[in-house]
Amino acid sequence: MLEIHVMDLEKDPDEMYKLAKKIMSQAYAPYSGYKVGAVIKDEHGNLHQGVNVENAAYTGSHGEYGAISAMLASMPQGKCITAVTIVTKDGGTPCGNCLQHIWQFCNGIWSVPIYCGDVFGKIKIFQIKELLPFPFDFEF
C-alpha cells in the first residue's frame, strides 16, 4: 500500500478521485450514513460511476456494483477493468464481495490499482492482489 494526497496523483487517478468524491454525495445511505462513490476505468479509458443504495431490508447495492453495471451496460464487448477509485468519509477499502466482483473483470491482471480516498484528499493505493490475495477464479 502507498499513501499519498490527491494533489500528488497523476491526471487519470486525480480525475477519477474528483468524480468519485462528487458522486458520493448522491449515494442513498439513510441507515448507515456511509456513502460510497465509485469510479471504474475500462480498457478504453472510459470512466463508469456508481454509488451505494441502501434499503429498509438491508439488501442494498454497493457503489462498486453500480460502476461495474454501468460499464457492462455501456460496452457490448471487451469488458476489462484497468483502475478503480472509491471515496468514502474515511478512505475505506472495497468489501470482499466487491473485490471479487472487480476481480471478475480484471482479466487476470493482479496489478490493477485500487485507489481508496477519503473526503480530505488522502488516498491509499493498493493493487487488487493486496486486497484479494486468494480470489475465487474461473477454474475449479
Residues labelled catalytic: 64
Q: Cα separation of 21 and 81, whole Å?
A: 19
Using alpha carbons, select from 14, 82, 86, 12 the residue that is nearest to residue 49: 86
Retrieve residue 125's grid coordinates: 493505493
Amino acid, single-letter form, for residue 67: A
Q: Cα separation of 50 and 27, whole Å?
A: 8
Q: Cα separation of 106 and 11, whole Å?
A: 21
Q: Cα separation of 58 and 5, whole Å?
A: 33
The dihedral through the CA atoms of 14, 23, 93, 95 has a sign that is negative
